[in-house]
Amino acid sequence: MARIVKADAYLVDIEVETVRTDAMQSFLKQETIFVELATSDGLTGTGYSYTIGTGGRAVLSMLREHLLPVLLGRDARDVEAAWRALYDSTRATSVGVLTALALAAADLALWDLRCLRAGEPLWRLAGGYRESVPLYDTEGGWLHLDQDELVAGALESRAKGWPGVKLKVGKPSGTEDAERIRAVRGAVGAGMDIMVDANQSMTAPEAIRRAALLEPYDLSWFEEPLPAEDVAGHERLAAATRIPIAVGESMYSLGHFREYLQRGAAGIVQVDVSRIGGITPWLKVAHLAEAFNVVVCPHFLMEIHVSLVAAIPNGRYVEHIPQLRAITTEQLRIVDGHAVAPDRPGLGIAWDRDQVDNRRVG
Active site residues: 168, 299
DSSP classification of residue 327: G
CA angle in degrees (0–180, nearest 5) for 85-67-351:
110
Strand pairing category for 164-168 and 221-223: unpaired
Contact (Cβ atoms closer than 8 angstroms) between residue 86 and residue 110 = no
Strand pairing category for 338-340 and 333-335: antiparallel
CA 73, 79, 80, 86 torsion-angle sign: positive
DSSP-assigned letters across all residues of 196-232: EE-TT---HHHHHHHHHHHGGG--SEEE--S-TT-HH
Three-state DSSP state, 237: helix
CA 145, 149, 151, 154 torsion-angle sign: negative
CA 136/CA 6 separation, integer angstroms: 39
Task: Specify burial of residue 352 (Cβ count, 10 A radius: 0-12, 13-18, 19+).
Answer: middle
Look at residues 262, 255, 239, 231 and name the one whose alpha carbon lies nearest to residue 247: 231
Look at residues 3, 86, 79 and name the one whose alpha carbon lies nearest to residue 40: 3
CA 95/CA 102 separation, integer angstroms: 12
